[in-house]
Structure 1
Amino acid sequence: MTRLGRHGLDHVFLAVRTDLLEVVQSWTDRTGPDDAGAAGVVELVDPTEERAGRVFAAVGVPERVAALLSTVTPGDSVHGVAVTRGTGTLAGDTLSGWGLMPGATWDRMATESAPQVPDAGPAVVELLDLGRDTDEIAALLAETNPGTLQGVRSRRGQRARWYGVRVPREDREHGPGALVAVGSAMPVAGGAVHLGSIGTLPAFRGRGYGGALTARMTADGIAECGLVTLGLYDDNVAARRVYERLGFVLAHQVETWHRG
C-alpha cells in the first residue's frame, strides 16, 4: 500500500492520532526519505480537555522507538502511550518511570480496495442524521461499545459520518425501525478515512449486519480518500475475519501503556 509506506512522523497512523489532538512536541530519528525503519514519537494533548493528561503515540521498529523514547522528557504527567508492539520489553524502564503499566494490545488494519457491499437481507445500511439520531446512537454504543474514544457526542464523533442498520419494518418483535448496529467514518489528516465505534446489539449478531455496515463505510471511504483504516483488539478473532473478508490487511501492531 503506497501511503502505508510512509514512516517517521509522516506515518499514516500518527496522522490518525493527531487529527483532533494537539501536538505538543515531536521527535524522529529519520535519516532520510528511504529510512523505512524510522521511528516517530508525538506528545499530544486534548485541547477540549475531554481527556486529561498527555498521551504519546509512536511508530517505527521497536528498537528505534525504544531508543527515541529514552531521549524524551514529557512536559507533564503522562496519561497513556501507544507504541509499536515489542517496544515495552525494550523501554520498560522508561515507561514505568513515567508512571505507566502495560495495557492492551491492538492491531491496526488498512485497505485501499473497495469491497462489494454484501446483501444484509431486508435490513438496510443507511447514513444517519446526527440532528435526529444522536440519542439512539449513544444508547446503542453504551450497550455495545462503552469504551470507545469516539462517542457520538465527542468533538471527534460530531465530525464523523455515522452509519446504521435498522430493524426491518416487518420485525415487530424488536420494534420496527430501531437501530441495531452503528459505526462511524472519520476523514483524517494524511488522506485516509478511519472507522470506529462499530457495534451491533447482541440479539442481532450473526446476521451479517456488522459486515454489511463496515463494507458500506469502507466503500464510501475508498471513494472519498482511497485509504481506509481501523483498529481492533488483537484477540478479536470474529471481527478480524470480517475485516479480512472485506480486504483489510494488518498494517501495524500496537501495545498500550496506561497510568495505574
Structure 2
Amino acid sequence: MLNNPVWAALTGPQACFAEAAGNAARYLPEIAPFAALSDPADPAAWRDLATITDHALLTGPSITPRAGWEVDRVTPGVQMIGQSMSGVEDPEAVPLTEKDVPEMLDLVARAEPGPFLKRTVDLGRYLGIRDSGGRLIAMAGERFRMPGWTEVSAVCTDPAYRGKGLGARLTLAVAAGILARGELPFLHAVHDNENAIRLYGRLGFTHSADVVFASFRYTG
C-alpha cells in the first residue's frame, strides 16, 4: 500500500472522496489534486484516467506516462514512516474545522506547505496553534488514509513564527491521534527540504522510499 498510497486511499477508507473509472481514480477537485492508478505500468489504467481528467498529479516510487499523456513537472521526494515513534498531544493545539478554512488557506498561502484546497480539511483531523491575538500561525493534519496508515500533511508555520518548534509539536500531536486509532503515521517531503526531513527524523520517522510527485497532461 505504501508504494501506491493514493490508490489505496481512494479505493479504501477515502472512497467517498473519489471519482473513479476502471483502474483509475482521483480525489474530487475541491478535496485534493491527486489521482492514482491501480498499476502505473498498465496502459489501460492511463486510458481510464483520461476519462475522468486531462490533468493528473500522481505520486509513487517511479511513474512513466503511457500513450496520450505527457509530463508537465516531476518533483523528487521522500516517503517516511513512523512505525516506532510516539505521538504527543499538545494542549495548545486546537481542532480546525470547515469554519477555519479561510484562515487555513491564508496560512497555506504564506507558508506554502503543498497542495491544500477548500475541502482538504474533510480528509481527517486538523490541528492548529494560534498566537495571543487569535491568529492561526501553524497547522498540521491528515490527508491520505488507507488501511492501517494515515499520512501527516500540511505541516506549516507562518514565516514570522518559524524556529519555535510549532511544526514539530503539531506533527507529534497529529501522529498521536493516528496512533490512538491503532494506525501508523507516514508522511512525504520534497527531497530538497532538508530541514524538514531532518526534523521528521528527530521525531521518529524513518526513510521508507524515494518517490516522485509528478504532474501529467493528457494530449490525446
The answer, yes or no, to whether TM exceeds 0.5 is: yes
Q: 2:109 matched to which residue of 1?
A: 142
What SS class does the counterpart of residue 181 from structure 2 fall into? helix
Pairing 1:12-161 to 2, within 5 Å after superposition: 12=5, 14-16=7-9, 18=11, 19=14, 20-26=17-23, 43-46=24-27, 48-50=28-30, 55-57=35-37, 68-70=41-43, 72-75=45-48, 76=50, 78-82=54-58, 84-88=60-64, 94=66, 97-115=68-86, 117=88, 125-130=92-97, 132-145=99-112, 147-148=114-115, 150-151=116-117, 153-154=118-119, 156-161=120-125
Distance in 1 between the 2:31 and 2:89 partners?
37
Distance in 2 between the 1:225 and 1:233 partners?
27
Q: 1:143 to 1:72 in 2, by over 3 A?
A: same
Distance in 2 between the 1:50 and 1:126 partners?
26
Distance in 1 between the 2:81 and 2:32 partners?
29
On the 8 A contact 2:137/2:157 being kept in 1, the answer is: yes
On the 8 A contact 1:145/1:198 being kept in 2, the answer is: no
> How far did 1:246 drift?
1.3
For 2:47, give the aligned amino acid: P
Q: TM-score by structure 1 length?
A: 0.66
Distance in 1 between the 2:98 and 2:33 partners?
31
Distance in 1 between the 2:143 and 2:35 partners?
20
Distance in 2 between the 1:166 and 1:183 partners?
13
Distance in 1 between the 2:175 and 2:197 partners?
15
Q: 1:228 matched to which residue of 2?
A: 185
Q: 1:83 to 1:135 in 2, by over 3 A?
A: closer
> How far did 1:51 drift?
7.9
Q: 1:34 matched to which residue of 2?
A: none
For 2:36, give the aligned amino acid: F
**Higher RCO (C-alpha 8 Å, min separation 6):** 2
On the 8 A contact 1:128/1:162 being kept in 2, the answer is: yes
Q: 2:148 matched to which residue of 1?
A: 191
On the 8 A contact 1:78/1:99 being kept in 2, the answer is: no
Larger Rg: 1
Q: 1:45 to 1:177 in 2, by over 3 A?
A: closer
On the 8 A contact 2:55/2:216 being kept in 1, the answer is: yes
Q: TM-score by structure 2 length?
A: 0.77
Q: 1:186 to 1:84 in 2, by over 3 A?
A: closer
> How far did 1:251 drift?
2.2
Q: Which runs of 5+ in 1 are unaligned?
A: 27-42, 60-64, 170-175
> How far did 1:185 drift?
2.1
